[in-house]
Amino acid sequence: MGRKVTKAIFPVAGLGTRFLPTTKSIPKEMLSLVDKPLIQYAIDEARAAGIKEFIFVTSRGKGALEDYFDHAHELESSLKKSGKTELLEILRATNMESGAIAYIRQHKALGLGHAVWCARRLLSDDEPFAVVLTDDVIQGEPPCLQQMIEAYDETGGSMVATMEVAADKASSYGVLDIAEDMGAIVRAKGMVEKPAKGTQPSNLAVIGRYILAPTVMTNLNKLKQGAGGEIQLTDAIAEEIEAGRDVFGLRFRGQRFDCGSKAGFLQATVAFGLEREELKDEFVEYLHQVTAMRRAAE
Ligand code: UTP
């Protein structure tokens, strides 16, 4: 039984080059699926999982992201005056309690592991923590991080979210080497970052949700001292396994979209658009028309 997880780290210091030129001035995390920025999807998921403190690892040019969580008093009172209660509710749902959010800077994009390590002073030595990558947007019920917390409550150790991928896609992910397959949960005996084609130990890829034992931070500390270039979170998790500590993978129930890529972002836009009652009919009709036109042109 693990200790309660109440803090989550959101590494948002990457350059977001795949979305240039937009990301010249807008952080990738502020890109919107229908009408809600990626960061809000991540926060909502973390809140549903019982997270109380939200640590953002940011970098230069992420000002819009910090401003987003300020309460919009003028806007709220104007919506209130004009009786737009539904919009007011939407706005209020984004309000965060004072002191619940911390921003830490990563001064150089030295990798995901390094970004997580930047938050070390905001965690106590014996505290497990969650890491949420906002690029991965997940439709799931209950939300993915909650599924993970429920599984972690039984297993303890560290837990990563996993999904099956085709063999030719495995080289884009961290991949688990499986010691024991218990169905939804697997116990890992290794973890490899972006294995060369054909060398992947399984087809279970790790995606952007983690619950990590405090010792992972200790491992990152060590890697920081030894490393010249990028510091990989995968290496710090793999070290847990080498030290004989438990690392599990959860086959979560839900659909994950890689919103760090253009194709994934477009797919998510379609999926979330179709979920909206007020948009669904018009959108379905449009998609049918587009598909029919493309077929006719072929
Ligand atoms: P990505 O590999 O997607 O990199 O990072 P990126 O810079 O965000 O995007 P591209 O590839 O240039 O388009 C995965 C996650 O890790 C964070 C990113 O913000 C993203 O959430 N990250 C990555 C950091 O916070 N710091 C880093 O040094 C690297």
Query: What pLDDT score does 1 carry?
Result: 55
pLDDT at 279: 95
pLDDT of residue 226: 62
Among the listed residues 131, 182, 121, 199, the one whose alpha carbon sits nearest the alpha carbon of residue 160: 131
pLDDT, position 263: 97
Residue 2 has pLDDT above 60, yes or no: no
Average pLDDT for residues 158-183, to the nearest whole number? Answer: 94
Whole-number mean pLDDT of the chain?
Answer: 93
Q: What is the Å distance from ligand 1's center to 135 Cα? A: 9
Q: Is 109 in the pocket of ligand 1 (CB under 6 A)?
A: yes
CA–centroid distance, 12 to ligand 1, in Å, is 7
Looking at residue 225, its pLDDT comes to: 67
Domains in the chain, CATH or no CATH each: 7-260 (3.90.550.10), 261-298 (no CATH)
Cα-to-centroid distance, 60 and ligand 1 (Å):
13
Verify whether ligand 1 is closer than 6 Å to residue 22 (CB atom): no
Find the length of the chain: 298
Residue 19 Cα: closest atom of ligand 1:
13
Three-state DSSP class for 76?
helix
Percent of the chain residues past pLDDT 70, beyond the cut: 98
Closest CA relative to residue 130, chosen from 147, 109, 111, 108: 147
Q: Considering only CA atoms, which residue is closest to atom 16 of ligand 1?
A: 112
- Which pLDDT band, with edges at 50, 70 and 90, does 3 fall under? confident
Who's near 29: CB < 8 A, 6+ residues apart?
Answer: 12, 37, 38, 39, 42, 62, 65, 134
pLDDT for position 134? 97
Q: Is 38 in the pocket of ligand 1 (CB under 6 A)?
A: no
Sequence letter at residue 76: E
Ligand 1 nearest atom to the CA of residue 110, by list position = 28
The H helix count followed by the E strand count for the chain is: 10, 13
